[in-house]
Structure 1
Amino acid sequence: MHALRSPRPSTRTGHRRRRHPTGLGLLALAALLVPACSAQGASTAAGSTSTAAAEAVLTPLPKATPSALAPYYGQRLSWRDCGVPGFQCATMKAPLDYAKPDGGDVRLAVARKKATGPGKRIGSLLVNPGGPGGSAIGYLQQYAGVGYPAPVRARYDMVAVDPRGVARSEPVECLNGPKMDAYTQTDVTPDDQREKTELVGAFKTFAEGCGADAPKLLRHVSTVEAARDMDILRALLGDRKLHYVGASYGTFLGATYAGLYPQRVGRLVLDGAMDPSLSARRMNLDQTKGFETAFQSFAKDCVRQSDCPLGGPGTTPAQVGRNLKAFFDRLDAHPIPAGDADGRTLGESLATTGVIAAMYDESAWGELREALTAAMKRDDGSGLLALSDSYYERDPDGRYSNLMFANAAVNCLDLPPSFDTPDQVAKAVPSFEEASPVFGEGLAWSSLNCAYWPVAPTGEPHRIEAKGAAPIVVVGTTRDPATPYRWAQALAGQLASGRLLTYEGDGHTAYGRGSSCIDTAIDTYLLRGTPPAEGKRCT
């Protein structure tokens, strides 16, 4: 089951690489497909937007900190060695329920790498890689704290907090390794009633597992609550304003902070932006179109390569897509060996996830060609299985990180579900297939995951204006698969001080991915506070 999320850091290259989707359900939001957040009800027709979504605006919180929150804003961080050279760690407390601050705490893991100098320290730079569910601390230690430009690391303390329910911060757990293996192999293109029933059963089993693990926490892992946690951390770090770089879902988190605390916005970079005004269904449909756009780029490149198993010179992208879909259909009927120690074979679901994973970063296209060649010509599914495992963050011992669990927990709380019933999905499949002949059907059915969630959603689609905030840089990539470019255009247009920076290229997010134009513009903003010129475009 695939769901989309943002990219994760690569320790091999020092650059962010493809991000992987999440389990059966789309990631609303930033990931596969977010279920991240939406304003219209599940019964709204795909592609439309409700009046509520168009008119609702995130309201700023009072400038004065409520007295009930004083104990949280007044706590002290006790820094200790992390076990990773150069990094320190601490634990902070936040109220489980901001409406009842005396009703219990949630403990959040924090890490930092102090400014190295030379140059005057600007403050703390908080980073978040997206997801939802990606570990910000892992991202800091593996990439941002060592791979961000030296001048930025010289003048900022690099800081990360794992959001509530994620990684080191009281992580939500739903299924053990063997059960997750079964879940990820569930057929998301059901051919008959029996397969539909199995798919619904898988969604219910996943949801029930999450509910049994953290019944209280599951009600309080929303993006709004995570943004409020960031403000407590800002105060504990001694910063008057928040400086922040967020990627993918991290842009929704950062924009939410700006909407709640516009007067506390420092230098915010929102890279691979999401549009908070969209319903979950519309986001999923847009993301489906985004992956089709990325696949078209891959297809055009593939047929120019000597090792493309999907066609040669003169083969159109449409035919490449039909060839891949025919391969998926073959795997649906007859999975192939994958050399897996746990006995897994490569069926349609895992193969589709593997291909989607490679769409996040064009540097993975060569690996994808090799994996497809092995699977299509030698019945060796090991390469596609490895891509799928990377997407799901499954290690060689069969253990999964909590990425997929947290992804669903946040997305299903932030927005009403895309669909309430299998019948609604069936009616919407043609619109998803129109958006992507290759991925549309599977992504439509994957959007059903939140229908069975044990906790009712608390969020709705809304605009974020953040009136009075300092300039906020919104970055969009024209052929981004997971966060379509028009989302960046929409967010930059909503934000009163938004400044759109465009990367004309492929892949998910832009900062640190090889464009000196993008990197220079963002570094200048972080170091000098000078945003890029209106309408700036980079290649």
Structure 2
Amino acid sequence: MYIRRSSRPFRPRTAAALLAAAALLVSACSSGGTASTSGTTAQAALAALPTSTPSALSPYYGQKLSWRTCGVPGFECATMKAPLDYARPDAGDVRLAVARTKATGKGKPLGSLLVNPGGPGGSAIGYLEQYAGIGYPAKVRARYDMVAVDPRGVARSEPVECLGGRQMDTYTQTDTTPDDRKETDELVGAYKKFATGCGAHSTELLRHVSTVEAARDMDILRAALGDSKLTYVGASYGTFLGATYAGLFPSRVGRLVLDGAMDPSLSARRLNLDQTAGFETAFQSFAKDCVQQSDCPLGRKGTSPAQVGKNLSAFFKKLDAHPIPTGDADGRKLGEALATTGVIAAMYDEGAWAQLRESLTSAMKENDGAGLLVLSDSYYERDADGRYSNMMFANAAVNCLDLPGAFTGPDQVEKALPSFEKASPVFGEGLAWASLNCAYWPVKPTGAPHRIEAKGAAPIVVVGTTRDPATPYRWAQSLSRQLTSARLLTYEGDGHTAYGRGSTCIDSAINAYLLRGTPPAKAKRCS
């Protein structure tokens, strides 16, 4: 899946990459079931676990966290143990990094509020330190201890590792719109090299980074924090993680907010196709806005969104043949792959549209690709020294374990290209090819598409944004129909996710739920 809400000081709540994940957020949320495009491919619902704790897990559930001051002032850190393999709890541990900032107010404490920004692969601790622990509404932070755990394989929790910085530079520049067999072979080779690198560095861990296992880890954390029920806000992939928790532990659901919801019942092909259409919808909004601005390099007032898309596609093709300078210290030029990543990254937040117009103007009129490279690097979490976070590695590891890959080889992708290009004339081809990476993964998937009903759970708030590029609104509608206690809260607007993005209506509804337990009215809509 794709990421970046550039106007915020924190890493976006989703994470994935054209190559590193099976397709933008879609891959990030899931890599898919069968090749069907018809929608639901599995009717089975996720089964709840027994309410009693198995004796083999008692040592984990009974552990006490040893908190220490760390990093950012006002935050505490601890290390939690969980079984590497829940089927064999005595086979070894995985150590998970946890952080918190204590409730700031004098009102009655409400316990812990666990947050997750999405991905998979996004650091929940980084999100807590950079935004949630200081940027969530003061009245929420006053009543809750704000808590985050980096899921297994992510950031500070025994991170999955795959490629070095220079190798990743090559990987991110690989052409994802191959024009011939040679370029197709190069793309397949890149996927295979990435997968081989992950297998070489993290073989055993790769078998145990599924969303189900991460959700079970969250229940151990709940117990270690002393909470009888889980209160949780998850965004993007974090909604899949939260919904999975609800399906496994419905009786332990407290107040759950699932913002930018995933649909766990869809196949990979359907997920990727839906997301491709979602990015097209977001681009259409950008295009309409762009031509109203004096600095739009893709058209002038009166230019249709379709023509704006054609102008951008023509620019991408030009870069495919002749990459342009960026001034990068490592000599990277801006080709089609990096430029496309930069544009899609800006689709996550309409606050980034001005930056995108400026970057496109520099690239198209001044032959300077630096601005689009900055957007692309922020998406991939590449720092100025050429080092990458492990976000892309963890993203692929979770996706490819959760569900079978969308495609098994290039021939299947080629047959699917017309449907993807119909969904998005601008991005469809690249997103179709991006769905191929799990075909070469070194470990077999353990999951399949499924419904999540969470029968018996307390009310769960599912939030959907009508023009969300990465988690299309229809996914929120579908998840809200699956969860027996869901309340759908709709934001009529642009951008990825809704809470904390400027809508007083959305924020007030969620704050009331978190603070008083009052879910939004049925079918509530905000703009």
**TM-score, scaled to structure 2:** 0.98
Runs of 4+ in 1 over 6 A off after TM superposition: none
Q: C-alpha distance in 1, partners of 2:128/2:6?
A: 11
Does the 8 Å contact 1:273/1:483 carry over to 2? yes
CA contact (8 A) 2:5 2:345 kept: no
Report the CA distance between 1:21 and its aligned residue: 3.7
User: In the alignment, residue 22 of structure 1 is paired with which amino acid?
Assistant: A
Partner residue of 2:27?
34
Alpha carbons of structure 1 residues 108 and 76: separation in structure 2 relative to 1, 3 Å: same
**Residues 529 and 73 (structure 1 numbering): CA distance in 2 closer, same or farther, change over 3 Å?**
same
- Paired residue secondary structure (2:499): coil
How far, CA to CA, are the matches of 2:56 and 2:196 in structure 1?
A: 34
C-alpha distance 144-57 of structure 1, shift in aligned 2 (>3 A): same
Structure 1 segment 99-498 matched on structure 2, within 5 A: 99-498=87-486
Asked if the contact 1:8/1:139 (under 8 Å) is kept, the reply is no
Distance 1:9 1:102 in 2: 45
Aligned length: 527
- Any unmatched runs of 5+ in structure 2? none
- What letter corresponds to residue 422 of structure 1 in structure 2? P
1:93-104 paired onto structure 2 within 5 Å = 93-104=81-92
Change (3 A) 1:97 1:454: same
Alpha-carbon displacement from aligned partner over 1:299-319 (angstroms, at most 9, x marks no partner): 000000000000001100000
Find the aligned partners of 2:384 and 2:32 in 1 and give their Cα distance. 40
- Tell me the secondary structure at the aligned position of residue 95 of structure 2: strand
- Over 3 Å counting, the alpha-carbon distance change for 1:504 and 1:258 in structure 2 is same
Q: Indicate the percent of aligned positions where both proteins have the same amino acid.
A: 77
SS at match of 2:91: coil
Cα distance in 2, alignment partners of residues 252 and 264 from structure 1:
17
> CA 1:18–1:170 in structure 2 vs 1: closer, same or farther (change >3 Å)?
closer
The 3 A distance-change label for structure 1 pair 537 and 478 is same
1:24 alignment partner, one of 19, 25, 37: 19
Report how far residue 10 of structure 1 moved. Answer: 3.1
Question: Residue 8 of structure 2 corresponds to which residue in structure 1?
Answer: 10
Residues 202-233 of structure 1 deviation map (CA, whole Å, 9 limit, x = unaligned): 00000000011111000000000000000000
Superposition deviation, residue 281 in structure 1: 1.4
Rounded to whole Å, the distance in 2 between the matches of 1:325 and 1:39 is 28
Provide the C-alpha distance between the structure 1 equivalents of 2:490 and 2:414, rounded to a whole number of angstroms. Answer: 36
Secondary structure in structure 1 of the residue aligned to 2:214: helix
CA distance in 2, matches of 1:463, 1:476: 18
AA partner of residue 36 (structure 1):
C
Partner amino acid, structure 2, of 1:277: S
Mapped to 2, the partners of 1:149 and 1:7 lie a distance apart of 19
Q: Note the C-alpha offset of 1:117.
A: 1.2
Q: CA RMSD in A?
A: 1.4
Q: How do residues 67-82 of structure 1 correspond to structure 2 at under 5 angstroms? A: 67-82=55-70
Cα deviation, 1:145-178, whole Å, max 9, x if unaligned, reads 0000011001000000000000000000100000
CA 8–464 in structure 1, closer or farther in 2 if over 3 Å, else same: farther
Measured at CA, do residues 7 and 461 of structure 1 come closer, stay the same or move farther in structure 2, by a change above 3 Å?
farther
Question: Could you tell me whether the CA contact under 8 Å between 2:77 and 2:100 is conserved in 1?
Answer: yes
* SS at structure 1 position matched to 2:283: helix
One-letter amino acid matched to 2:461: V
Tell me how far apart the structure 1 counterparts of residues 506 and 276 of structure 2 sit (CA, whole Å): 26
Name the SS for the 2:372 alignment partner.
helix
TM-score (norm 1): 0.96
Q: Secondary structure at the match of 2:90?
A: coil
Q: Which amino acid aligns with 1:538?
A: C
* Alpha-carbon distance in 1 for matches of 2:514, 2:369: 44
Matched residues in 1 for 2:278 and 2:411: separation? 25
- 3-state SS of paired residue (1:404): helix
SS of alignment partner, residue 392 of structure 2: helix
Cα-to-partner distance string for 1:47-95 (whole Å, 9 max, x where unaligned): 4443xx1x11000000000000001011110000112111000000000
Say which SS state the counterpart of residue 267 (structure 1) adopts: strand
Pair 1:514 & 2:502 matched:
yes
SS of residue paired to 1:278:
coil
